[in-house]
């Protein structure tokens, strides 16, 4: 199907640049490309190109280079005698083409001594189709450890590097601050790496460092992610 799409694209541009007597007579797309009419009617790509030549570069820039994902996995807390736990969440829920995406996640140790809940909004400063992006972060975070508990406003910045437009691999570094400006402020540094093993299944690793005045903690997660192109 991709080959036919490329052929149709090249033919459409050629016909536009070098019209002849036949094209000047406004033949149908079926006649111009000698393609079965049923295929034309069933293909959104052919329908679009049959009406007008789209701005392909603009489509590439605005078509997101990453996908919405649901994640589930196990976590360990190396700073707390390697406590085990679990993590669930949803990433990159799009709000149309506004550049705004949302994440929500929850993790907990098996003994419930460590609890994280977060819901954040990200605003991509560059086009969603870029391989590189910066996104300010604002949201809510609840954090609980043996030594302290904190919740409230979470603000920061995420650096996103997408190594493949199909979201086959990506790297994200996020620095945010929970309750910024308060004595109980907590700095959160998160490094996440993902790699696709199929069209929908990805494996990921997430490492988070928590820097609070009371204590410093860490969390490492190995995740399975299902993406929705």
CATH of the domain at 164: 2.40.128.90
Q: In this prediction, what percent of the chain has a pLDDT beyond 90?
A: 59
Ordered alpha helix ranges (H), the chain:
2-17, 21-24, 29-33, 37-42, 44-51, 56-62
Judgement on whether residues 49 and 83 belong to the same structural domain of the protein: no
- For residue range 121-132, list pLDDT tens digits in order: 999 999 998 899
Number of domains forming the structure of the chain: 2
Judgement on whether residues 90 and 162 belong to the same structural domain of the protein: yes
Mean pLDDT of 140-158: 94
Judgement on whether residues 46 and 136 belong to the same structural domain of the protein: no
The overall average pLDDT reported for the chain is: 84
Per-residue pLDDT at 82: 84
Per-residue pLDDT at 117: 97
Task: Say which range, 12-21, 142-151, 159-168, has the weakest mean pLDDT.
Answer: 12-21
Per-residue pLDDT at 196: 94
Nearest 5°: CA angle at 17, between 13 and 21?
110
In Å, what is the CA distance from 189 to each residue of 186, 192, 201, 209?
10, 10, 26, 5
Per-residue pLDDT at 136: 98
Is residue 111 one of the residues assigned to a domain? yes
pLDDT confidence band for 146 (50 / 70 / 90)? confident
Judgement on whether residues 25 and 83 belong to the same structural domain of the protein: no
Give CA–CA dist 134/142, Å, rounded. Answer: 24
- For residue range 69-121, list pLDDT tens digits in order: 999 999 999 987 889 999 999 999 999 889 999 999 999 999 988 999 999 99
Mean pLDDT of 9-13: 52
pLDDT confidence band for 55 (50 / 70 / 90)? low
Is residue 60 one of the residues assigned to a domain? no
Judgement on whether residues 118 and 34 belong to the same structural domain of the protein: no
Judgement on whether residues 82 and 154 belong to the same structural domain of the protein: yes
Asked if pLDDT for residue 51 goes beyond 90, the answer is no
Judgement on whether residues 132 and 40 belong to the same structural domain of the protein: no
Give CA–CA dist 52/58, Å, rounded. Answer: 15
Judgement on whether residues 76 and 42 belong to the same structural domain of the protein: no
Judgement on whether residues 49 and 142 belong to the same structural domain of the protein: no
As given in the structure block, the two tokens for residue 114 are: 């460590």
Residue 86: give the domain boundaries.
68-228
Per-residue pLDDT at 21: 43
């Amino acid at each position: 199907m991709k080959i036919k799409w490329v052929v149709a694209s090249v033919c459409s541009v050629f016909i536009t640049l070098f019209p002849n007597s036949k094209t000047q007579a406004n033949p149908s797309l079926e006649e111009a490309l000698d393609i079965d009419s049923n295929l034309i009617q069933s293909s959104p790509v052919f329908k679009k190109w049959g009406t007008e030549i789209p701005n392909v570069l603009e489509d590439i820039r605005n078509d997101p280079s990453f996908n919405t994902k649901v994640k589930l996995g196990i976590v360990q807390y190396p700073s707390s005698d390697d406590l085990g736990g679990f993590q669930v969440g949803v990433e990159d829920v799009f709000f149309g083409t506004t550049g705004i995406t949302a994440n929500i996640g929850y993790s907990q140790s098996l003994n419930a001594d460590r609890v994280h809940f977060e819901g954040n909004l990200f605003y991509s400063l560059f086009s969603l189709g870029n391989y590189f992006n910066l996104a300010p972060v604002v949201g809510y975070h609840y954090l609980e450890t043996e030594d302290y508990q904190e919740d409230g406003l979470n603000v920061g910045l995420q650096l996103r590097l997408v190594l493949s437009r199909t979201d086959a691999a990506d790297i994200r570094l996020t620095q945010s601050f929970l309750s910024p400006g308060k004595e109980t402020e907590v700095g959160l540094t998160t490094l996440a790496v993902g790699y696709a093993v199929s069209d929908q299944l990805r494996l990921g690793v997430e490492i988070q460092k928590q820097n609070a005045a009371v204590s410093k903690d860490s969390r490492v997660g190995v995740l399975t992610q299902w993406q929705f192109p």
